[in-house]
Amino acid sequence: MGLKLQQSYHHSVTLKVNEQMGTKRGYTFIQANRAWLPKFLLLWVMVMAFLSTWIYKKMDADNKVRRKEVLSSMCDQRARMLQDQFSVSVNHVHALAILVSTFHYYKDPSAIDQETFAEYTARTAFERPLLSGVAYAERVVHSEREKFERQHGWTIKTMKREPSPIRDEYAPVIFSQETVSYIESLDMMSGEEDRENILRARATGKAVLTSPFRLLGSHHLGVVLTFPVYKSKLPPSPTEQERIEATAGYLGGAFDVESLVENLLGQLAGNQAILVNVYDITNSSDHLIMYGHQNQDGDLALLHESKLDFGDPFRKHQMICRYHQKAPTSWTALTTAFLFFVICLLVGYILYGAAIHIVKVEDDFHEMEELKVRAEAADVAKSQFLATVSHEIRTPMNGILGMLALLLDTDLSSTQRDYAQTAQVCGKALITLINEVLDRAKIEAGKLELETVPFDLRSILDDVLSLFSEKSRNKGVELAVFVSDKVPEMVMGDPGRFRQIITNLVGNSVKFTERGHIFVKVHLAENPKPMEGPKAETCLNGGSDEDALVSGARQFKTLSGYEAADERNSWDSLKHLVADEELRYDASVKMKAADEASQSVTLMVSVEDTGIGIPLIAQDRVFMPFMQADSSTSRNYGGTGIGLSITKCLVELMGGHISFISRPQVGSTFSFTTVFGRCKRASFSDTKKPNAEDLPSGFRGLKAVVVDGKPVRAAVTRYHLKRLGMLVEFANSVKIAASACGKNGSSCGSKTQPDIVLVEKDSWLSGEDGGLSLRTLDRQQNGHVLKSPKMILLATNITNAELEKAKAAGFADTTIMKPLRASMVAACLQQVLGTGKKRQPGRGMLNGSSVLGSLLCGKKILVVDDNMVNRRVAAGALKKFGAAVECAESGKAALKLLQLPHSFDACFMDIQMPEMDGFEATRRIRMMESQANEQMNGGTEEGSIRTGEWHIPILAMTADVIHATYDECLKCGMDGYVSKPFEEENLYLAVAKFFKTKPISDS
């Protein structure tokens, strides 16, 4: 069963893990597209490669455009220059032609001869930089040839330097520049180009050019410029015929284009870079080259054409430029593009890397989350496991302890006894540890549920104190408890857990305190507000000379006079508290009304000790399980260190919080708050107080004087006495008490004599005249015979000698050993005052093996079980203990038998039964009972007195020992739980709860 449970638990854990995984895993964009990341990178690289290529192309194109622009501008510049130079030359030749016509023809005799012409042209050659030379040829018709030849003394020759054949006309050169003197006497008409030129020139009257040809003499390519020279002045718009008639000769100039252009270009920048060709394109199909090489290599891809106008409308020229070298690879563009690509590549890679990293981190994160969930699940599982295992260990441990106890009852040799006792002590220690671990595990597993029952806080505190009284007395440590009056008498809560907390804290304190005191103080959490000084003083009897009492050594106003860690707990605060209470006493009725209005009450509990304190370094891990202040602690003082962590858990479960103040070598003060429910007065007045011991009321109204130098301690004493209903006064010393009594005695006034005088041992011993004053006190009392106050000595520990001395001094009555407890004080007072002789039946008598018999004897018990054998066995077992047993075989049968009124004292109910199971049956029984109770309440007066009588204890019988079952049992109204098969001890424990109160209430 257990295994199955764990399996299913495990299953549920994994399921939870999966669920959490499902909900928590929020996918980011990157995470969702993780498979695409390399593809994204590739795409990015490709896009970037494309982009950089584009950039390269763009830049390259720009370069080309610029190159082209540069080329065209250079070309145009060259063309313009050439053209300008050319036209300058042409103009000058024009001028020369006019010169010739003016001075050769209009003057008679001619002012020009060859010599003059040569001289003049040579001196004006700078004006015609493009012309290699000029010459003048006269027009000679054939009829005049002989006369001309005679006149000049040479014959007209052709270009080939032969005597000219007979023609209609000749044009022999008569004047020539020196540079071209070799053409003198040559007939220009004999050359094809020149003849054409001459004819065209005289027809148009303008400068005309030949197509390029190889010039005589220089063998350079060149063109010849020809200007007509007219004999007479021409009419304003002469016809062609008139021009031809008027022609006297021709002035020609040879442009040695090749060398001259070379010269010209040489002057310009960037000459090396470009290649210039000049063409005559008069015949558009056949371009004649004028300058440059026809088949020169160069950058054929890029060329620029510029038009040239040399002033001859008939001829057309153009200049073609191209770069010498092919366009250089554009390194800038290439580098830029490449760098761009590289940068983008890097950026892409960085992004990719980041994405990969993000993915990795997210993966890790999810993994961690998963692990965390698992770890938490494991933690819960651990707690569950611990709870289960501790529970399982407890059962056999109880057996071991029980057997050991039995063993110790037998006759044993001293060695055997020693062994057995050691085993028992160890076993007890082990079970304590297991209980603590179980508690912690339960709390962690969230299984611990708190009860909510009314309980008396004060009696629990008394109980805890009595637990430790032995130990503290041995150590000489004073143990005291003080509960503020405003704390309600009964509160709703979990008394067991409250007791556990207090026990833990006080136990710790006792463990670590060797001197001084341990002081438990309970008050309302909202209480400590400062009160005005003078009012606070009122409660102090003789507060003014309080300081006088403080003896030489530095004393603190704490319980024992030792310094405490938390100053707040000293008398200064407590007196406010006390004062507050006294002041409000009158208004208590009003206050109570207000208190009852609120549902809950927050208590502040502090446990103060003057022990070794907690080292500062260890203070922050005090509440961590298994952490003690240091490892030597467990060696010196024992313990596991789990107690405080449980305490913390419990306090937090109770809706409070715990804190502490500790000073090494001074002490620690643990304070915690808890929230309890307020107990409706009506509800608990009828029901029995299960754990409140009834304090005797015989002391109500008695008057007591407490003699104590330490106000805190006095307040504690008063608290206990007040609980007994006594009126208490303080006295700082015996003397004051005595004088007070004396006054009272003498005046015999309204104030009555004290019935009891309680003297603290310390104050008695401190006053040297203690004995004396006491005697006087005694004497005075003796004087007034009516009432003699009883003298009681209060002491934490007392030696025999002191006891003797005390008896001698007059404390004949009794000595009350501390720690004080109301019940103990009551018992002592009873003894002293001689009242209340009858002893209350002690509960301790109930322990013993024959108890079960006495508990069950004569009780009528119903056993409900569908299983015949079980029924028989249960009946047999119960009968053995003297119970009268009746059986029912089903829930229905049980219901029938339990119809009210019935005479059963208890019912044992099987849980798993066909038709109607134990839970259902119980529910119905409870319903029946509550109906009956209501009817009775609503009915006669008599009924109301018997309220709540119909409640038969129902105990579940089950083989199932899982916690849940127990909870279920309680939920449906069962009172307890017996595991099947019956064991004597279990049965006793279960039954004892219900039957033990009865004999007491009966008696």
Partner 1 sequence: MDFVNQLQRKFIDYSSSLHREGIVDDQFTQLRKLEDENSPHFVMEVASLFFEDCEKLINNMAIALEQKQGVDFKQIDECIHQLKGSSSSIGAMRVKNACIAFRSFSDGQNREGCLRCLQQLSHEYSLLKNKLQTLFRLEKQIVAAGGSIPRVH
- Residues at the interface with partner 1 (CB under 8 A): 865-870, 872-874, 876-877, 879-880, 910, 912, 914, 959, 980-984
Would you say 801 or 869 has its CB closer to partner 1?
Answer: 869
Residues forming a β-bridge with 491: 455, 678
Sign of CA dihedral 991, 997, 998, 1003: positive
Q: Which residues contact 322 (CB under 8 A, 6 or more apart)?
A: 71, 274, 275, 298, 299, 300, 302, 303, 304
Would you say 100 or 987 has its CB closer to partner 1?
Answer: 987
3-class DSSP assignment, residue 793? strand
Sign of CA dihedral 740, 746, 749, 754: positive
Read off the DSSP letter of residue 125: G
Please give the Cα distance from 813 to 788 (Å, whole number). 12
Would you say 58 or 872 has its CB closer to partner 1?
Answer: 872
Would you say 251 or 863 has its CB closer to partner 1?
Answer: 863
Would you say 403 or 827 has its CB closer to partner 1?
Answer: 403
CA atoms within 13 A on the CB side of 81: 16
Query: Are 360 and 34 within 8 A, CB to CB?
Result: no
Q: Which residues contact 977 (CB under 8 A, 6 or more apart)?
A: 955, 956, 958, 965, 966, 969, 990
Q: Can you give the three-state secondary structure of 476-524, one letter per residue?
A: CCEEEEEECCCCCCEEEECHHHHHHHHHHHHHHHHHHCCCCEEEEEEEE
Residues forming a β-bridge with 318: 279, 307
Residue among 857, 951, 966, 495 at smallest CA distance from 690: 495
To the nearest whole angstrom, how small is the minimum distance from the Cβ of residue 429 to partner 1? Answer: 27
To the nearest whole angstrom, how small is the minimum distance from the Cβ of residue 4 to partner 1? Answer: 9
3-class DSSP assignment, residue 657? coil
Residues forming a β-bridge with 908: 863, 955
To the nearest whole angstrom, how small is the minimum distance from the Cβ of residue 387 to partner 1? Answer: 23
Residue 712 burial by Cβ neighbours in a 10 Å radius (0-12, 13-18, 19+): buried
Would you say 400 or 932 has its CB closer to partner 1?
Answer: 400
To the nearest whole angstrom, how small is the minimum distance from the Cβ of residue 873 to partner 1? Answer: 4
To the nearest whole angstrom, how small is the minimum distance from the Cβ of residue 918 to partner 1? Answer: 13
To the nearest whole angstrom, how small is the minimum distance from the Cβ of residue 959 to partner 1? Answer: 6
Would you say 773 or 870 has its CB closer to partner 1?
Answer: 870
Q: Which residues contact 632 (CB under 8 A, 6 or more apart)?
A: none
Would you say 424 or 986 has its CB closer to partner 1?
Answer: 986
Would you say 25 or 872 has its CB closer to partner 1?
Answer: 872
CB atoms within 10 A of CB 897: 15
Would you say 721 or 987 has its CB closer to partner 1?
Answer: 987
Question: C-alpha distances in angstroms, 521 versus 273, 839, 962?
Answer: 111, 31, 39
To the nearest whole angstrom, how small is the minimum distance from the Cβ of residue 756 to partner 1? Answer: 55
Query: Are 140 and 168 within 8 A, CB to CB?
Result: no
**What phi and psi, each to the nearest 5 degrees, are found at residue 278?**
-120, 130
Would you say 224 or 874 has its CB closer to partner 1?
Answer: 874
Would you say 738 or 885 has its CB closer to partner 1?
Answer: 885
To the nearest whole angstrom, how small is the minimum distance from the Cβ of residue 792 to partner 1? Answer: 53
To the nearest whole angstrom, how small is the minimum distance from the Cβ of residue 406 to partner 1? Answer: 11
Residues forming a β-bridge with 131: 255
Would you say 30 or 961 has its CB closer to partner 1?
Answer: 961
Would you say 150 or 879 has its CB closer to partner 1?
Answer: 879
Q: Can you give the three-state secondary structure of 171-219, one letter per residue?
A: CEEEEECHHHHHHCCEEHHHCHHHHHHHHHHHHHCCCEECCCEECCCCC
To the nearest whole angstrom, how small is the minimum distance from the Cβ of residue 866 to partner 1? Answer: 7
To the nearest whole angstrom, how small is the minimum distance from the Cβ of residue 952 to partner 1? Answer: 24
To the nearest whole angstrom, how small is the minimum distance from the Cβ of residue 880 to partner 1? Answer: 5
Q: Which residues contact 758 (CB under 8 A, 6 or more apart)?
A: 704, 705, 706, 707, 717, 721, 792, 793, 794, 816
Residues forming a β-bridge with 323: 274
Would you say 188 or 885 has its CB closer to partner 1?
Answer: 885
To the nearest whole angstrom, how small is the minimum distance from the Cβ of residue 906 to partner 1? Answer: 19
Would you say 96 or 862 has its CB closer to partner 1?
Answer: 862
To the nearest whole angstrom, how small is the minimum distance from the Cβ of residue 893 to partner 1? Answer: 17
How many helices and strands, by DSSP H and E, does the chain display?
Answer: 33, 29
To the nearest whole angstrom, how small is the minimum distance from the Cβ of residue 999 to partner 1? Answer: 25
To the nearest whole angstrom, how small is the minimum distance from the Cβ of residue 980 to partner 1? Answer: 7
Query: Are 528 and 573 within 8 A, CB to CB?
Result: yes
Q: Which residues contact 505 (CB under 8 A, 6 or more apart)?
A: 520, 607, 647, 670
To the nearest whole angstrom, how small is the minimum distance from the Cβ of residue 982 to partner 1? Answer: 7
3-class DSSP assignment, residue 133? strand
Would you say 526 or 985 has its CB closer to partner 1?
Answer: 985
To the nearest whole angstrom, how small is the minimum distance from the Cβ of residue 898 to partner 1? Answer: 22
Please give the Cα distance from 102 to 80 (Å, whole number). 32
Query: Are 226 and 197 within 8 A, CB to CB?
Result: yes
Please give the Cα distance from 608 to 661 (Å, whole number). 9
Residue among 181, 165, 166, 163 at smallest CA distance from 217: 181
Would you say 2 or 163 has its CB closer to partner 1?
Answer: 2
Long-range contact pairs involving 347-352 (C-beta distance under 8 Å, separation at least 24): 348/41, 348/44, 348/45, 348/48, 349/41, 351/44, 352/37, 352/38, 352/40, 352/41, 352/44
Residue among 617, 649, 645 at smallest CA distance from 631: 617
